[in-house]
Chains A and B, each alone.
Chain A
Amino acid sequence: MIVLDGLTKSFGDKRVLEGLSLEVPDGKNTVIIGYSGSGKSVTLKLVVGLLEPDAGRVLVDGDVVQEMDREELAVLRGRIGYVFQFAALFDSMTVAGNIRLGLVRRGYDEDAIRERTHESLAVVGLSGTEDRFPAELSGGMRKRVGIARAVALRPRYILYDEPTTGLDPVTAAVMDQLMTRTRDLGVTGLVVTHDMRSAFTVGDRIAMLYQGAIRQAGTVEQIRATEDPVVRQFIEGRPPADLRPVARRAPA
């Protein structure tokens, strides 16, 4: 289980997280929703130790991430897959090269690496793209390779950073399917997104991050039925009152 406990994080004068606490239960997809710039991606980076919180801590399977040294962090990262917002594929390597990098690190032999590479590309529906470079792939394909790279390591957890942002509706639905399928394989997912259709599709639990803390967390049904005005406005995608179209004046 992943536990976020009172996380606070600032960048210069801008306070991004202010006492964020959340539990991510095993075997389920937990979705963090929130406005752009609300600190969702920062939260994911705190989970894998890519950023240090100013206060608070992250526990993964009971171990405090912030107390780990480099070697312990490497072991932790072996249990966590990370799918980046823009895929973050190594553009000097082929698709297969991207996937094999993590496997080489874990000491797999060449046969096992080849098998895992084929298997993980098949899971995301990209068999046959092994020798292509990231620049030759569409945005959706790159994101799927990002998932394949994470899945190949058979992690216990996968963190998804805006997995459907910038994708066409069909490709976004494919991504949703992949996240659900991965959950069904027993992998715990932590997804950050502001795509409500995706959140309702893949999420078992949804938490809204607002002004640096969790405004509300609950099951999909609870969030759909919420009476909290901030959460309601976000999930319905309603603009603030002062930005709504003004009534047209009658011609003079």
Chain B
Amino acid sequence: MSPLVASRIAARDGLVTLIGHRSLETARAVADVRTWAPLLLGHMRRLGVDSVPITLFIAVFTGIVLSLLSSYIFTGAVPIYFVGALVGKTVMMELGPVLTGMGLAGRVGASIAAELGTMKVTEQVDALETLAYNRYAYLVVPRVLAAILMFPVVTAFAMAVGVAAGWATSVNVLDLSTPQFLKGLKLFYHFKDIWFGLVKSASFGGAVALMGCLQGLAATSGAEGVGKSTTRAVVLGCEAILVLDAFWALVLL
């Protein structure tokens, strides 16, 4: 094995060990409710409510593209009201949660990593410890819990807006009436479509926030180090979403 490959494997191994160790510290810090509980609502607002505009933007265009794409695929082969079925199923089960997760990995994951990274390199994290706070209980747990709670809420909005955008496009651009769209939407609908998407999005939220926190706390060497940690947080957050997406499909479908 070449030294370069060996060093890359060692670096990846070190990263996995680091994430594992710090995830364990985070799990232990959940018991320190007195520290994280007062911070939870503020983080829910910052990570959730403030993310609604970008999420809705993504959802609108996803709905538009899906309805146009399904019309293109179905025309001449399948009844056109199947557009509603495809838009509904895809937005609720896959694209709503995954694209929202990816969008928030960029917004939330990067913002957490940059904030915590800056705190780390300016010794604010050490200062927190010298004031007898557990850094995981104060910085990581409230952010991860807020993301787990708020990603499904934001995703639910995205699902509703995505389907609505698909309907509006079908009615205004395609030759499809509202009853036809709704017929298709109800055709294969199961309540599981919604909770499957929401369960996935909660796990995506936890993964994105955890990656942001852990990469931020691992930042070194000033502004450049914070930049690298932020990039790594977004990349790892997106990778985690794809892995979890496959995991839930295997387990729940």
User: Residue-by-residue, is A195-221 near B (CB-CB < 8 Å gives 1, otherwise 0)?
Assistant: 000000000000000000000000000
Does B13 belong to the interface (CB within 8 Å)?
no
A70 within 8 A of B: yes
Q: Is the CB of B132 within 8 A of A105?
A: yes
8 Å CB interface, A149-183 against B: 149, 153
- Complexed CA–CA distance, A106 and B123 (Å): 21
Q: Size band of the B side of the interface?
A: 10 to 19
Residue of B nearest to A155 (CB): B130
Q: Does B122 lie at the interface of the complex (its beta carbon under 8 Å from any beta carbon of A)? A: yes
Nearest residue (CB) in B for A79 is B132
**Is residue B157 within 8 Å, beta carbon to beta carbon, of the partner chain?**
no
Q: Are B132 and A74 in contact (CB under 8 A)?
A: yes
B127 within 8 A of A: yes
B44-87 vs A, Cβ < 8 Å mask (1 yes, 0 no): 00000000000000000000000000000000000000000000
Asked if B129 lies at the interface with its beta carbon under 8 angstroms from chain A, I say yes
Q: Is B126 on the interface with A (CB-CB < 8 A)?
A: yes
B window 126-141: CB within 8 A of A: 126-134
> CB distance B132 to A84 under 8 Å?
no
Residue of A nearest to B133 (CB): A105
Bound-state CA distance A168–B126 (Å) is: 26
| Cβ contact within 8 Å between A90 and B124 | yes
Interface residues of A, count at CB 8 A: 24
Contact: B126 with A45, CB < 8 Å? Answer: yes
Contacts of A86 in B (CB 8 A): 122-123
Bound CA–CA A101/B128 (angstroms): 9
A65 shortest CB reach to chain B, Å: 13
Q: Which residues of A contact B123 (CB under 8 A)?
A: 84-86, 88
How many Å lie between the Cα of A70 and that of B131 in the bound state? 13
Choose among B119, B128, B134 the residue that contacts A70 (Cβ–Cβ < 8 A).
B134
How far apart sit A70 and B127, CA to CA, in the bound complex (Å)?
15
Partner of A105, one of B122, B124, B131: B131
User: Is B132 touching A102 in the complex (CB atoms < 8 A)?
Assistant: yes
Q: Which residues of B contact A64 (CB under 8 A)?
A: none
CB distance from B219 to the nearest CB of A (A): 15
Are B133 and A84 in contact, CB atoms less than 8 angstroms apart? no
Query: How many angstroms from the CA of A90 to the CA of B133 in the assembled complex?
Result: 13
Contact A88 B131 (CB under 8 A): no
Please state if B134 and A50 are interface contacts (CB–CB under 8 Å): no
Contact of B130 among A77, A90, A91 (CB under 8 A): A77
Bound form: Cα–Cα A78–B168 in Å: 61
Q: How far is the CA of A70 from the CA of B132 in the complex (A)?
A: 9
Nearest chain B CB to A149 CB, angstrom units: 8
State whether A88 touches B134 (Cβ < 8 A).
no
Query: Judging by beta carbons under 8 Å apart, are B131 and A102 in contact?
Result: yes
Residues of A within 8 A of B (CB): 45, 48, 50, 70, 74-75, 77-78, 80-82, 84-86, 88-91, 101-102, 105-106, 149, 153
A-B interface, 3 closest residue pairs, ranked by CB to CB distance from nearest: A88-B123, A88-B127, A102-B131
* Interchain residue pairs with CB less than 8 A apart (12): A77-B131, A84-B126, A84-B127, A86-B123, A88-B122, A88-B124, A90-B119, A90-B128, A101-B128, A101-B131, A102-B132, A105-B132
Extra contacts besides A45-B126, A82-B130 (9): CB < 8 Å: A48-B130, A50-B130, A77-B132, A88-B122, A88-B123, A88-B127, A89-B127, A91-B122, A153-B131
